[in-house]
Structure 1
Amino acid sequence: MLMGITKCMISFILTFVTLFLLSLIPFSLSPPPLTLAGKGLAHSNSTSTLPKFAYLISGSKGDLQRLKRTLRALYHPLNFYLLHLDLEAPTHEREKLAEHISKDPVFAEVRNVEVVEKANLVTYRGPTMLANTLHAISRLLRTANWDWFINLSASDYPLLTQDDLIHAFSKLPRDLNFIQHTSSLGWKFNKRAKPIVIDPGLYKVKKSEIIWTSQQREIPTAFKLFTGSAWVMLSRAFAEYCILGYENLPRTTLLYYTNFISSPEGYFQTVICNSHGFKNTTVNHDLHYIAWDNPPKQHPIALTNLDYRRMVKSYAPFARKFRRNEPVLDRIDRDLLKRKANQFPYGGWCAMDEDGNKPCSEFRGKILVKPGFGSRRLRALLTRALSKRNMGRRQCK
């Protein structure tokens, strides 16, 4: 009996010592920051207080050229970019995209642009689109230190420079989440919430339409459904919450949306508005200018020169949806981005002059933020969206 007590005491002591040593190991949800290669960039004290954005830019078959154009229009050395051409795009398009990134002198020097080598199959209106976004967030969390995540497609385009964006967001709390949302489902109650669908993209390598089942389901009672825009800007804290899920809400909600039509229009909205820790961080705006028919159809209206003034007056930093080689993009490049063909937009980080006589094509080795009128427009939008009236009345209602 004495021998048994002795063994028990030894086991207890070893367990206590082990737990004590484990408690001394530092733990953080965030990975170590990624140091950017370049001429002294390395996120020094002069740039550490500036916000950094992580972009997912997605495309499909035939989107290679406009994906490259959108990337250049959005580029800034402080940010991080993950490019995804889905499995429907031929392999040679992904190879050409990777070659373009590796051979560009700025991309090669700064090393903040990556291409998803193993492409995902993405089904329109299916959960595979959401799975692709979560995959991108997970990858960016592991490889880079950033403040906000933004998902865009190859048919999106910026309406201001990244210097404008960085300057406008520099004074904002980093925990804000820009997610357009509402609990008023309207027509989506019967068309989205009740049907049960299956996405073949979850288990096949060839794209096909979603499968509709004959049965329908009741509205959940464990959480409240919200819907909104598929285009979001997520704080790093909320992105970690969705991926690491220290509560079970992100996982159970994801399982529910696996059989939901257009799940990217509801998943993040439902998770954040049912989370006590994050629902008060929502800003009810998707930071996009999007034109719809009345009543709205499945797809937004393709934007042209006729929409230019409305785009600018919206004060939004992004717009969609643009056709390939749409002429209004040239006007945006010239008037809003101060960008010449195949060059980067005007910015304090690149070697160029304000008159545009020397194109922005080289990294000067240090970061200087030089905002323009785009920053004023965006700050006006943010001031309105963050007002007490809007934040109080429009948060998770």
Structure 2
Amino acid sequence: MRNSKIPCRGLDYRLCILAFAVCLVLIGTVSRLSFANVSYTTVTRLQHYHPKRDVSKGKGYPPVLAYWIFGMKGESNKMLRLLKAVYHPRNQYLLQLDDGSSESERMDLALSVKSHKLFEAFGNVNVIGKSYAINRMGSSALSAPLHAAALLLKVNSDWDWFITLTASDYPLMTQDDLLHAFTFLPKYLNFIHYTNKTVRNVQRNTDQIVVDQSLHYEKSSPLFFAVESRETPEAFNMFHGSPWVILTRAFMEYCVKGWDNLPRKLLMFFSNVVYPLESYFHTVMCNSPEFQNTTVDNTLMYSLFDTDPSESQLLDISHYDTMLERGAAFARPFGEGDLVLEKIDDLILNRSSNGLVQGEWCSNTEINKTKKVSEDEGEFCSLSGNIDVVKPGMSGIKLGTLLDEIVNSGRSRTSQCQFYKG
């Protein structure tokens, strides 16, 4: 009798079945989010007692940015500070605490957002009410931004770029600056950094088979590493880079809805790869004829570690001048209460410790910057301000010039999607 050939050569059969089951769980979760009957019960919706302000879109108007702000247990205060530092009425915001946080902490975060009169008035901040297990090394960390993008598309799909931030990130310019810099950019550009590692170096992560147990447990669990490795795939080329990205709505819709099979096929492959956030979006983009000409090799993030999340060093005052010289829009990682954050608030954002960053939409000149502010300083902002106009400073003008040069020079083409052999 002829023996059947099992496709998992050299692997324990039970591990093969488990890995396949994990793939189905991951792809099933993302696929369900693309349907129109997604329930809003997964998001703590804010009840808006004021008419929602309409945002003007089109040529000459600033874009709309969709922010996903992710935090871990005990980081709700850092998330609120970051939210206020990047807030603008044009944008959309989704806040999420991980599984390590308690239900009461997530509820307190939602109530803090809801109690802010300005957030209520513009109705553009939502909080994910129920969390789930996430291991930053595994595929559960990849499912989280896909989930967030799906929710943002469902809540309000009228945005242009998707920006992922953690509670350890902080802006180095105002939203007026960033919106100005993006105003005249083509809306198909994706900001994603690729490393120069050869295929041989990348194989260390991609050929190793892992199972992320956080996908099927309620709490974050360690990865399960297989003894055997697998062969490098031939159906697509592998690409690698920074996990910090700014991606277009069109590309995120492609990843979530997957109108051809590439995003789903790669999702199944990367469900068993360590640190898939450093490869998934990069590989999807460069293997897709529709999106491989849309890359800008710059994430606008100043980071002490681009692709090594195991580092523990934090930014401090000594990094201040270097951060500004790089022309980045964001920097990371910061600790709670770092003195450099106060310096950024004071000299760059011009905000008090609990206040919002003012702009044309909130230009009440009677507000004096002081350390003694109310718990809801935003309520003093003028709601009659113009949310369709931005006032850039030197940082915004400089960034806008830099991005314009990148587009005009043609550096946003396939140069980053060349397949390096080695």
Could you tell me the TM-score, scaled by structure 1's length? 0.85
Give matches, 1:151-162, under 5 Å: 151-162=164-175
1:141 alignment partner in structure 2: 153
Q: Percent identity?
A: 38
Cα separation, 2, equivalents of 1:190 and 1:279: 22
Q: Deviations over 1:194-230 (max 9, x none)?
A: 1111111011012221111101011111000001111
Segments of 5+ residues of structure 1 without an aligned counterpart are 1-28
Cα separation, 1, equivalents of 2:368 and 2:408: 37
Q: Are 1:52 and 2:64 counterparts? A: yes
SS in 2 for 1:43: coil
More deviation, 377-386/198-207:
377-386
| RMSD over aligned Cα atoms | 2.6
SS in 1 for 2:112: helix
Cα separation, 1, equivalents of 2:136 and 2:52: 43
- CA 1:297/1:63 → structure 2, altered by over 3 Å: closer, same or farther? closer
Cα separation, 2, equivalents of 1:135 and 1:179: 19
2:116 is matched with which residue: 93, 96, 104? 104
Give matches, 1:11-90, under 5 Å: 41-44=53-56, 49-90=61-102
Aligned AA (1:118): K
Could you tell me the TM-score, scaled by structure 2's length? 0.80
Cα separation, 1, equivalents of 2:366 and 2:415: 40
Kept in 2: contact 1:228–1:265 (CA 8 A): yes
Aligned AA (2:383): R
Q: Cα distance, 1:384 vs. partner?
A: 4.7
**What is the number of residues matched between the two proteins?**
364
1:374 alignment partner in structure 2: 395
1:364 alignment partner in structure 2: 383
Kept in 1: contact 2:295–2:413 (CA 8 A): no
Cα separation, 1, equivalents of 2:52 and 2:97: 32
1:281 alignment partner in structure 2: 294
Kept in 2: contact 1:60–1:86 (CA 8 A): yes
Q: Are 1:240 and 2:253 counterparts? A: yes
Kept in 1: contact 2:189–2:412 (CA 8 A): no
1:333 is matched with which residue: 324, 335, 345? 345
- CA 1:184/1:343 → structure 2, altered by over 3 Å: closer, same or farther? same
Q: Deviations over 1:54-105 (max 9, x none)?
A: 0000001111110110010010000000000011111111011000011101
Segments of 5+ residues of structure 2 without an aligned counterpart are 1-34, 38-47
SS in 2 for 1:322: coil
1:263 alignment partner in structure 2: 276
Q: Cα distance, 1:392 vs. partner?
A: 4.7
Kept in 1: contact 2:202–2:240 (CA 8 A): no
Q: Cα distance, 1:351 vs. partner?
A: 3.7
Aligned AA (1:137): A
Q: Cα distance, 1:355 vs. partner?
A: 8.9
Kept in 1: contact 2:67–2:93 (CA 8 A): yes
Aligned AA (1:279): Q
Q: Cα distance, 1:187 vs. partner?
A: 7.1
Q: Cα distance, 1:120 vs. partner?
A: 2.1
SS in 1 for 2:202: helix
Aligned AA (2:127): V
More deviation, 162-171/189-198:
189-198
Kept in 2: contact 1:346–1:354 (CA 8 A): no
Q: Cα distance, 1:387 vs. partner?
A: 4.8
SS in 2 for 1:204: coil
Aligned AA (1:388): S
